Amino acid sequence: MFAPTSPGPLPDLTRPDVGAALFSTWSVGTPERQRATVDAIAAAWDSRPWPAPELLSYNLYAGTDGDTLMHHSQWADEAAYHAFFRDQRQQRNDAIDSAVPDIKRLGLAYYRHYRGFQAPAAAQGDTTDPGLFVVVEIDFDDPDPQVRRSWVDLVIEALESEPDPGLLSADFHLIANGERHLSTDRARVLNYARWTDVEAYEAALAAGGPRDGGSSAWDRVRDFPARVGASSRSYRFRRSFVRPSASASASAS
């Protein structure tokens, strides 16, 4: 296992100035290449000026599978990301690819935050720092966004009535329509969940979730007719890059 000496702050997924939350996944093959890619990304970003004031934060996670990396960026609006994509993204990727060739980029999707669940302080106990991040993508066969909102509302109702002791928070995002290269043609919800540690998450998986005969809210979540599938990956936080403050930018110039 590895960790940067100064990974930086965790992102606030609920900040109101985020107009576009982008999530993408890379496959690099091995834990050694994971480490090398994180180092290459850090070098590419630390050696260049901050790309745009509309980029609020860029956050990097390493998959527990030893293969994947997740990128989560917070933008003030989607148009600013597309300007970055046209003018600056390839230069950074070229530098990363030069250090770690043959990275597979598996797709990029654009979301907006809808609702979040925060575990009560009493339930969190002494552990408030997440040791594991789990990202779940849930697909629906109905394109109406209200269908996805209704499902998220049910999940949060169930979490509030029957929380898992290892779950610190869960933030639900609705996929948004973007330009073609964003691959946002699916009716999808993304749940970004923070867990105390891998043991708590694995215990929740082993328990199979709330049992039959539990709360009616969980019954409705399970039986929701438009939900057609889900996939998940677990990660550990590796690095954040945060927009410099105006005062820091002025002093640097």
What pLDDT shows up at residue 8? 82
What pLDDT shows up at residue 247? 39
What pLDDT shows up at residue 245? 74
Mean pLDDT of the chain: 87
| Axis crossing angle, helix 78-87 with helix 89-99, rounded to the nearest 10 | 60
User: Do the beta carbons of residue 4 and residue 39 sit within 8 Å?
Assistant: no
Question: How many angstroms separate the CA atoms of 56 and 58, rounded?
Answer: 7
The pLDDT-based confidence of 68 (bands split at 50, 70, 90) is very high
Question: Which one, of 231, 232, 204, lies nearest residue 218 by Cα?
Answer: 204
pLDDT digits (tens, 9 = 90+) for 111-158: 999 999 999 874 555 556 899 999 999 999 998 889 999 999 999 999
What pLDDT shows up at residue 249? 43
pLDDT digits (tens, 9 = 90+) for 79-97: 999 999 999 999 999 999 9
What pLDDT shows up at residue 76? 96
What pLDDT shows up at residue 208? 64
Query: pLDDT above 70 covers what percent of the chain?
Result: 85
Side chain identity at 75, as an amino acid letter? W
pLDDT digits (tens, 9 = 90+) for 57-66: 999 999 999 9
- Long-range pairs, 179-182, Cβ under 8 A, ≥24: 179/82, 181/85, 181/108, 182/22, 182/108, 182/109, 182/110
pLDDT digits (tens, 9 = 90+) for 22-45: 999 999 999 999 999 999 999 999
What pLDDT shows up at residue 151? 96
The pLDDT-based confidence of 3 (bands split at 50, 70, 90) is very low
Residue 217 has pLDDT above 60, yes or no: yes
User: Do the beta carbons of residue 34 and residue 3 sit within 8 Å?
Assistant: no
Count Cα atoms within 13 angstroms, Cβ side, for 137: 14
What pLDDT shows up at residue 56? 97
Question: Which one, of 89, 97, 94, 27, lies nearest residue 58 by Cα?
Answer: 89
User: Do the beta carbons of residue 8 and residue 240 sit within 8 Å?
Assistant: yes
